[in-house]
């Protein structure tokens, strides 16, 4: 049984597979394995948002890059810093255009404030996910940054919708008052309001994003951990977050770098490893166990070698 | 005589129109006040993140700026043009002068 057997049924288009886990547990490895399998049944994009850029190393990409591995598998490594820089300069130009006096006074302060504001990274990540949703691929596998950033990013659409609904409420009242005043005074008024239209557009975009991210049919979450206390703790935390904030259950849990019994025994980790495996089975979700390669995974041939070390338990 | 009468009627009509306009303007003044307050509140929500007032996220704020460019130009004209243009703009939304 392969990893995608545990993910089925997979709707499209595109179906999003989000791979989440603590730094260093093998998210990129699992993402590549899943993307390779999915590319056999449909056009697949492997999108890495992980600042560690392991995907670039595995596939010989440089910086933010795009590569067609074959007709059905495309990979993209996103450089978040570059994206933040790009966005910042785009908005700096916009501000300069709207408020020219800023250019001679304090535009630099504003640009820096935008660049270093907490949350900008999450917003850039969300925009990349949103782009992927509008792509022509059947499947999009997302290799995410470490857990904290990913969970904050996934929570953003709901937060945006709350802000947008409040702003829309105020703007609608402004537009209706403007109309009433103009009509009462016998003046002509354009009922179309650019700001309100922009708010409606944004609401639609975030509604779509939220509906896909919260849909079992359109998105699958794969949680990855290694048989160690902290990665397992994060896996459980992520499971709870997905359930309580997005109302979804992960489709697959993966325990990576599992040591063979003899080695685990020698290292005194056999009992702990067994406990984690038992715990994984107790979620009532399909899970996979990937045996340790006995060397770090560094390139595509290591990933190929891992394919023989995967055991999937479908529930 | 007829001309004088016409002139008088015309003046009366003008007067009646003026009264009507005054009544209308008075009746919308309360609505106008609410309109100005709401517009200020909206601009404050959108501009706030750029001057350190945490309302929405800065990127959302920047996305929403473009359709407000004409309102911002009017506001800019009212601003003090000190060192912090955006803070002046926010002050122009009804803060202390």
- Domains in chain B, number: 1
In a domain, B35, yes or no: yes
Contact of A34 with A3, CB cutoff 8 Å: yes
In a domain, B61, yes or no: yes
In a domain, A43, yes or no: yes
In a domain, B96, yes or no: no
Contact of A222 with B61, CB cutoff 8 Å: no
**Residue the block writes with tokens 């109302």:** A247
In a domain, A96, yes or no: no
Among A66, A88, A84, smallest CA distance to A75 is for A66
Q: Does B44 touch chain A (CB under 8 A)?
A: no
Contact of A70 with A40, CB cutoff 8 Å: no
In a domain, B97, yes or no: no
Q: What is the DSSP letter of A244?
A: I
The domain spanning residue A258 has which CATH number?
3.40.50.300
- Domains in chain A, number: 1
pLDDT of residue A62: 66
- Residues A84-119: tens digit of each pLDDT: 888 877 887 777 777 776 665 566 666 766 767 777
**Residue the block writes with tokens 């008024």:** A189
pLDDT of residue A265: 80
Domain holding B80, by residue range, is 2-91
In a domain, B7, yes or no: yes
- Residues A32-85: tens digit of each pLDDT: 999 988 988 889 999 888 877 777 778 777 655 877 778 888 988 888 888 888
CA distance B38 to A167: 11
User: Smallest Cβ distance to A181: which of B28, B66, B67?
Assistant: B28
- Residues A280-314: tens digit of each pLDDT: 888 888 888 888 878 888 788 888 888 888 888 88
Chain CA centroid to CA A202, Å: 19
pLDDT of residue B42: 85
Test A102 with B85 for CB contact under 8 angstroms. Answer: yes
- Residues A271-281: tens digit of each pLDDT: 888 888 888 88
In a domain, A100, yes or no: no
| C-alpha dihedral (B67, B69, B70, B75), degrees to nearest 10 | 130
Test A198 with B64 for CB contact under 8 angstroms. Answer: yes
Three-state DSSP at A288 gives: strand
In a domain, A147, yes or no: yes
Instruction: Tell me the mean pLDDT in the region A201-226.
Output: 90
Q: Does B50 touch chain A (CB under 8 A)?
A: yes
- Residues A1-39: tens digit of each pLDDT: 788 777 777 777 789 999 999 888 988 899 999 998 898
Q: Is the pLDDT of residue B95 over 60?
A: no
pTM to 2 decimals? 0.80
Among A172, A103, A128, smallest CA distance to A18 is for A128
CA distance B18 to B30: 20
- List B residues 66-85 in contact with A (Cβ-Cβ < 8 A): 66-69, 72-73, 76, 81, 83-85
Task: Enumerate residues 6+ apart whose C-beta is below 8 A from A147.
Answer: A20, A21, A22, A234, A237, A238
Contact of B87 with B51, CB cutoff 8 Å: yes
Test B31 with A91 for CB contact under 8 angstroms. Answer: no
Test B85 with A194 for CB contact under 8 angstroms. Answer: no
Q: Could you count the other beta carbons within 10 Å of the beta carbon of residue A205? A: 17
In a domain, A99, yes or no: no
In a domain, A105, yes or no: no
Contact of A58 with A32, CB cutoff 8 Å: yes
- The residues with which A141 forms a beta bridge, in sequence order, are A17, A46
Domain holding A8, by residue range, is 3-84+116-313
Test B69 with A98 for CB contact under 8 angstroms. Answer: yes
Q: Is the pLDDT of residue B92 over 70?
A: no
In a domain, A109, yes or no: no
Please tell me the distance in Å from A190's CA to the nearest CA on chain B. 14
């Amino acid at each position: 049984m392969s990893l995608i057997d545990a993910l089925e049924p997979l709707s499209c288009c595109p179906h999003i597979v989000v791979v989440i886990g603590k730094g260093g547990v093998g998210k990129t490895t699992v993402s590549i394995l899943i993307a390779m399998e999915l590319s056999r049944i449909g056009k697949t994009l492997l999108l890495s948002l992980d600042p560690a850029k392991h995907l670039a190393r595995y596939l010989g990409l440089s910086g933010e890059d795009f590569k067609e591995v074959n007709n059905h598998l495309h990979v993209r490594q996103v450089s978040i810093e570059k994206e933040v820089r790009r966005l910042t300069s785009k908005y700096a130009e916009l501000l300069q255009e709207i408020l020219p006096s800023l250019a001679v006074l304090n535009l630099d302060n504003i640009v820096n404030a935008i660049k270093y504001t907490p949350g900008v990274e999450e917003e850039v990540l969300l925009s990349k996910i949103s782009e992927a949703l509008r792509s022509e691929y059947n499947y999009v596998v997302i290799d995410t940054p470490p857990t904290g950033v990913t969970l904050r990013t996934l929570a953003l659409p709901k937060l945006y919708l709350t802000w947008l609904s409040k702003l829309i409420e105020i703007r609608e009242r402004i537009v209706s008052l403007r109309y009433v005043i103009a009509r009462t005074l016998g003046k002509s008024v354009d009922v179309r309001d650019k700001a309100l239209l922009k708010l409606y557009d944004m609401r639609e975009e975030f509604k779509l994003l939220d509906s896909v991210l919260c849909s079992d049919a359109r998105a699958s979450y794969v949680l990855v951990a290694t048989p160690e206390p902290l990665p397992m703790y994060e896996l459980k935390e992520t499971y709870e977050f997905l359930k309580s904030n997005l109302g979804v259950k992960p489709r697959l849990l993966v325990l990576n770098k599992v040591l063979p019994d003899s080695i685990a025994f020698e290292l005194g980790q056999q009992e702990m490893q067994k406990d984690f495996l038992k715990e994984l089975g107790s979620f009532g979700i399909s899970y996979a166990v990937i045996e340790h390669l006995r060397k770090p995974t560094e390139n595509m041939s290591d990933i190929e070698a891992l394919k023989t070390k995967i055991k999937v338990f479908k529930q | 005589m007829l001309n004088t009468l016409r002139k008088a009627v015309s003046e009366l009509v003008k007067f009646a129109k003026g009264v009507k306009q005054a009544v209308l303007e008075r009746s919308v003044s309360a609505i106008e006040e609410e309109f100005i307050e709401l517009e200020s509140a909206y601009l404050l929500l959108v501009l706030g993140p750029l001057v350190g007032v945490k309302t929405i996220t800065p990127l959302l704020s920047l996305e929403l700026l473009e359709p407000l460019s004409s309102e911002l130009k009017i506001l800019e004209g009212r601003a003090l043009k000190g060192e912090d243009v955006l803070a002046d703009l926010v002050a122009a939304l009804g803060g202390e002068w």
